[in-house]
């Protein structure tokens, strides 16, 4: 059985990485930050990016586990 994590991208990040979602192998992944680097090896982690695990906002160093859904959002700007 393949263990996996679903990764979702929103707003400008979806355009930047060229997809709205993907599923990656969870083997060896321990944090939200590591999910970004495995899912996007050629993309620098944007400054002030927001992340959520299973719909709860978390820190980039928060743990992840098999079956989680990790979402990335661009920084929110206001005016």
The pLDDT profile of the chain, 79 residues, written as one tens digit per residue, is 568 999 999 999 999 999 999 999 999 899 999 999 999 999 999 989 999 999 999 999 999 999 999 999 998 766 5
Q: What are phi and psi of 11, to 5 degrees?
A: 55, -130
- The pLDDT of residue 70 is 98
Contacts of 56 (CB under 8 A, 6+ apart): none
Residue 9 corresponds to which tokens in the numbers above? Answer: 């991208």
pLDDT computed for residue 8 by the predictor: 98
DSSP state of 46: P
- Look at residue 77 in the predicted model and tell me its pLDDT: 64
What the chain holds in terms of domains, given with CATH numbers, is 4-73 (3.10.20.30)
Distance CA 15, CA 28 (A): 27
Q: What's the CA gap between 67 and 4, in Å, rounded?
A: 6
């Amino acid at each position: 059985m393949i263990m996996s994590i679903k990764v979702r991208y929103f707003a400008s990040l979806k355009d930047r990485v060229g997809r709205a979602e993907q599923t990656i192998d969870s083997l060896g992944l321990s944090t939200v930050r590591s999910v970004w680097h495995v899912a996007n090896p050629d993309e620098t982690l944007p400054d002030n990016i927001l992340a959520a695990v299973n719909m709860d906002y978390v820190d980039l160093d928060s743990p992840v586990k098999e079956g989680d859904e990790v979402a990335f959002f661009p920084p929110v700007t206001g005016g």
